[in-house]
Structure 1
Amino acid sequence: EISCFGKEGESTDTGDHYKVICASDVWIEDEQVRFKHVETGNYLALSGQTYNRPISGQREVVGSPSAGYSAFWIAAEGVFVKN
């Protein structure tokens, strides 16, 4: 959930639909990826703005038309499945 819209457990809007853009056919651990919003074509990116509330150092995430450096993401945690 990116937008925090809707009720828990319900898919009430299409604003949560993103396409993972990888350098290869599969998402490889430690590889940079981008998330492209299906409806708008914008990329999930950092704005450079930080806040101290509710979490100190929290960074603002936005939808950006640019696929630049701020739109790259790397998974730091999670379950990684090997072939």
Structure 2
Amino acid sequence: GKQIFVLGHLEYDRLTLDKEYKRDLAKGLNPQIPVNYYEDDDPKNKPELTWRSTSNCLYSNWLNYYVYQATPYELE
């Protein structure tokens, strides 16, 4: 069978990683700024939402193949 490995969190909305980053800063953990997440890599800027279309495409294709095409019509 085929295997699919997804690295990252395509289900995240625009502010999820921002909240996690700021939470860790508040705890004094000194996390690295997420690369290419904020405009100009500046946490003062609103996060960019560049992964939405990729996320929708991945999940749509996965559902289409594994649910609608690979699942038998008559379940036994």
Scaled to the shorter chain, the TM-score interval is under 0.3
TM-score by length of 1: 0.25
**Which of these two proteins has the greater Rg computed from alpha carbons?**
2
Greater fraction of residues in strand: 1
TM-score by length of 2: 0.26
